[in-house]
Structure 1
Amino acid sequence: MLTYQEALDYIYSFVDYERSSLEGPRRFDLSRITALLKLLGQPHRRYKAVHIAGTKGKGSTAAMIESILRAAGYKTGLFTSPHLHTYRERIQTGGQLITEKRLVAHVERLMPLAERFSGLTTFEITTALAFSHFAQEKVEWAILETGLGGRLDTTNVVDPAVVVITLIGYDHVDVLGHRLSQIAFEKAGIIKEGRPVVSMPQRPTALRVIKRVCRERRAPLTLAGRDWTWKRKGFDLKGQKLDVHCHKKPNGGSSSLCRDYANLSIPFLGAHQLVNTTTVVATMAELARQGVSLSPQNVVAGLETTFWPGRVEVLNEEPLLVVDGAHNLESTEALAQALKEYFDFQRLILIFGALHGHDFEAMLRQLLPLADQVFVTQSLHPRAIDANILAQQVNALGHRCQMEPQVDKALWKALRQAEKADLVCAAGSLSIAAEARAAWLESQGISFERDPPPA
């Protein structure tokens, strides 16, 4: 029997576009995952699914949808990527991470089947593991987040009850295309014939693509910002409240969830989370229209109890310590807006690190004007950018910085220099947020699930 570490080593032994460069020869299509799932008995056909694509907001949106369905009494599966502290976060059922023992068992079952293929990727292996686990656990609903793009993403083998498109922006342009219309076309590739679509507000170029694909595939479109609107009512460091208003009845019948909601509570900060929440509420109304048993009380309870750490997460109050997984222009814009609108502080001390393949100059342009002091650092992620390169970019943009290659040491230096009224923010990639978060939780004696550090 494999150990858990041996199972992880096996999973990571395949082509892994998360941990290595996307440059060079690559083949994205659905033939391998389709054949592999057939050998596994088509596990993805044994439950209903919500399929989510986009550049920003996929994870939070998926987590909220899962929490609401679970609050309604459904057995749920949640598939997301990447993870903060343990690979097992990617595959959850009923709000619980897959256990090490179950992951090992699934890997051992998969190994002889995987030998029949050449060129399998880590994400294809992970998708097969998740789909198999969900089937074995007899989940009723799987909430699935795409990994890269949508049209050729490994998850795009499901026939979902509803498709959700979150904010589309510029990321992975070397794979998805350098024009927003190209990226939107790839994301909209998860839209299926006749299946309802719920979209967040989009830039005009992206929205035109989504509308065109919906027309071509006769997929009814619900648009947040047009059909559903929101208004922030208040916030504190633990979360915020909002009103959500429905402006139309879903086509094809009435829905008990197509209604106004007052003072919904969410444990997230940032204006972008108001948009995410409204999109989630619209999605639940669509599911209710299809006959899924859901009540307004389920929506309220599910939103209140959603757990999705590392997203404008407040870990300490004096001084303020915030970690955020912002890793592209759109998410960094949202973080910068949140820091200005939701926090009262004297100085901002920024801890910044990024990964190759992301536009770190654009991210720095968003965050540096807010920062009084900057530490550049480098996570343990294989694609982490050298802190020296980041320091050069910070200097080129007219700012000074201190360089500390180890994230935990950068955190302690920043906190030692911070006054009670200051704010320390660690951002630039999910791995930076994860390592800063882990260091803080360890220092406070707070236990959390985590994998062994990389060798």
Structure 2
Amino acid sequence: MAMTYQQALAYLYSLTNYEVKAASAYAPQFFDLRRAQRLLDALGNPERRYLSVHIAGTKGKGSTSAMLASILRQAGYRTGLYTSPHLHSFRERIQVDGEMIGEQELADVAERIRPIAAEDPELTTFEVATALAFEYFARCQIQVAVVEVGLGGRLDATNVLQPAVSVITTIGHDHMHILGHTLAQIAGEKAGIIKPETPVVSAPQQRPAMEVIRRTARRQAAPLHAVSQLWTWRATCHSLECQEFTASRHAGRDLWSLHGLCLPLLGTHQLRNAGVVLETVAVLRTAGLKIEDEAVRHGMASVRWPARFEILGSRPYFVVDGAHNLDSAHVLARTLRTYFPGQRPWLVLGILSDKDIPAILHQLLPISAGAFLASSRHPRAADPLELQQLAAAYDVPTRVCDSILHATEQAVAAAGENGLVVATGSFTTAGAAREAWLRLHGRPLPPLDPHVG
């Protein structure tokens, strides 16, 4: 009897899962590339049957991946997209041409992998999921895979790839207990995806991070494309639906200007991500891919990437954002000031216990009208009573709720029709708040996973 989707999820979650229980160090005893490579070797190396783009970074790697995949689809390439984490269903992580892997398709590939993976009991959930994605992409006969790193880079299971181009988005402070406490240490792990003689595109970085990337690229004889030295961009106007901008490549051999680009992902940080995408497209063109300007234009305009300053509705305005560290909380606060000047949002807030909670609260509470605190469904979710104790230092009202749904209901009531609600603190909070808002408005829910005990 064929494996079911629920059985496939139960199998994946039965493995060591560092998304649920964090590893104590970024070291081979926890993250061993050889495990992932042995599994892929046994599967016949599906990851070698298509061109790939490998994307690491602290901030923006998901948005960057989504933009690039959208452009490649518009250019006519059958495109795979592998990202993490998911908001509602594990299937979101594995997409081909914008469509999630089907439930039975995932189960079928899991059934193929399970007996092979059983030979190595140390394999983790992410390592098997990565092999599953690569095998599925091969079965779908994709032409290009856009692959987001799960954690770090150097020891991440995705680092088995030999990509056409490596991409490093903005590096900041996150997962510091694993990756290191300085930007240079964190950058060293991210730069671990740089391959010998393989082009690497880097977002604008702070100096310590950029120095590490330059040094690593030089050691690997990898051509470095530093976006800050190659591109300029300028927003021309913005609304709650999209932002328009121009971008120009003003250095190097290939000059390139694009005017009137429309991007539905909001915030100035997304323009930086767009600059990284444009330089990646330039590199892929050099590698022989035919990507016309119109594909870039339509790909940017049609990209969808939920829970990144996503405005679900109005009366009150309801924003969902996966900000979960100091840097992303700072960007969220800045973007709120840009798009909702003078408004103080009511927060629906749930944060994971291993994050820098005081730093996140310091960015968000001073600009808020109040916060409804709840525990998300993640096993590492912080106790909302502890959040409330830390929030006492700020002159804003807080209330502990027994679920994200109840927190959402109360925040919407407090905001009134003319107010603003922002649900944030983690991607699990963002996902639960999206579901809560849809339920409150009688809207269809996205595909949800069955409960796995």
Match of 1:18 in 2: 19
In 1, the alpha carbon distance for the partners of 2:422 and 2:278 equals 30
Residues 75-104 of structure 1 deviation map (CA, whole Å, 9 limit, x = unaligned):
010000000110000001111100001000
CA contact (8 A) 1:11 1:126 kept: yes
In 2, the alpha carbon distance for the partners of 1:2 and 1:242 equals 48
What secondary structure, in the 3-state scheme, does the structure 2 residue paired with 1:36 have? helix
Superposed, 1:359-370 pairs within 5 Å as 359-370=356-367
Match of 1:108 in 2: 111
Match of 1:218 among 211, 217, 221: 221
What letter matches 2:449 in structure 1? D
Corresponding position: 1:335 with 2:329: no
Residues 167-197 of structure 1 deviation map (CA, whole Å, 9 limit, x = unaligned):
1011111111112111100000000111111
Superposed, 1:156-167 pairs within 5 Å as 156-167=159-170
Q: Percent identity?
A: 46
After alignment, is 176-185 or 17-26 more displaced?
17-26
In 1, the alpha carbon distance for the partners of 2:435 and 2:140 equals 30
Deviation at 1:29, TM superposition (A): 1.9
In 2, the alpha carbon distance for the partners of 1:228 and 1:79 equals 27
Residues 129-188 of structure 1 deviation map (CA, whole Å, 9 limit, x = unaligned):
001001111111000000000011100011111111001011111111112111100000
Superposed, 1:52-201 pairs within 5 Å as 52-201=55-204
Deviation at 1:440, TM superposition (A): 1.3
In 2, the alpha carbon distance for the partners of 1:346 and 1:397 equals 18
Superposed, 1:262-273 pairs within 5 Å as 262-273=259-270
How much is the aligned-residue C-alpha RMSD, in angstroms? Answer: 1.4
What letter matches 1:85 in structure 2? H
In 2, the alpha carbon distance for the partners of 1:266 and 1:115 equals 45
What letter matches 2:448 in structure 1? R
In 2, the alpha carbon distance for the partners of 1:333 and 1:452 equals 35
In 2, the alpha carbon distance for the partners of 1:292 and 1:323 equals 35
Superposed, 1:250-399 pairs within 5 Å as 250=253, 254=254, 258-344=255-341, 346-397=343-394, 399=396
What letter matches 1:162 in structure 2? V
Residues 376-429 of structure 1 deviation map (CA, whole Å, 9 limit, x = unaligned):
111111111111111111114554311113001000101111133321000000
CA contact (8 A) 1:345 1:421 kept: no
In 2, the alpha carbon distance for the partners of 1:86 and 1:3 equals 15
In 2, the alpha carbon distance for the partners of 1:394 and 1:21 equals 25
Question: Normalising by structure 2, what TM-score?
Answer: 0.97
In 1, the alpha carbon distance for the partners of 2:330 and 2:227 equals 20
Tell me the number of residue pairs that the alignment of Structure 1 and Structure 2 aligns: 449
What letter matches 1:15 in structure 2? T
Corresponding position: 1:244 with 2:242: no
What letter matches 1:200 in structure 2? A
CA contact (8 A) 2:368 2:396 kept: no
Question: Normalising by structure 1, what TM-score?
Answer: 0.96
What secondary structure, in the 3-state scheme, does the structure 2 residue paired with 1:375 have? strand
CA contact (8 A) 2:405 2:432 kept: yes
In 2, the alpha carbon distance for the partners of 1:418 and 1:174 equals 37
Q: 1:23 to 1:218 in 2, by over 3 A?
A: closer
Q: 1:137 to 1:235 in 2, by over 3 A?
A: same
Match of 1:204 in 2: 207
Match of 2:446 in 1: 448
Deviation at 1:345, TM superposition (A): 5.3
In 2, the alpha carbon distance for the partners of 1:378 and 1:266 equals 33
CA contact (8 A) 2:366 2:394 kept: no
Deviation at 1:453, TM superposition (A): 4.4
What letter matches 2:180 in structure 1? G
In 2, the alpha carbon distance for the partners of 1:452 and 1:310 equals 21
